[in-house]
Amino acid sequence: MSEDIVILMIGVSTFLGALGLLGLIWAVKTGQFDDHSKFIDATKHDNEEDLRDAVMMAEKKARYKQRKKEIEKQKCMPPD
């Protein structure tokens, strides 16, 4: 009885794996993952202002993390 279930599970998982592999092969052959213009379009629409905004956001995150560490450190210290 339990051997039948194991054989059935192996058969179903093999079938699903083969189906997934065939789907991947089909997608690669039909060019589903090809996007030649992605990087070109991205550089066309990048500008200095967007880069400046990204740098500001990264600095803001770093300051937030630093402040959070300071607050956690203060919580761990005993009061004077």
CA distances 78 to 36, 69, 73, 74, 75, Å, are: 59, 16, 10, 8, 8
Looking at residue 5, its pLDDT comes to 94
- This model's pTM is above 0.85: no
56 membership: H or E segment, kind and range: helix 48-76
Q: Are 33 and 27 in contact (CB under 8 A)?
A: yes
Q: Print pLDDT tens along the chain (80 aa).
A: 789 999 999 999 999 999 999 999 999 999 887 877 766 666 666 778 877 888 899 999 999 999 998 888 888 766 65
The per-residue pLDDT for 42 is 67
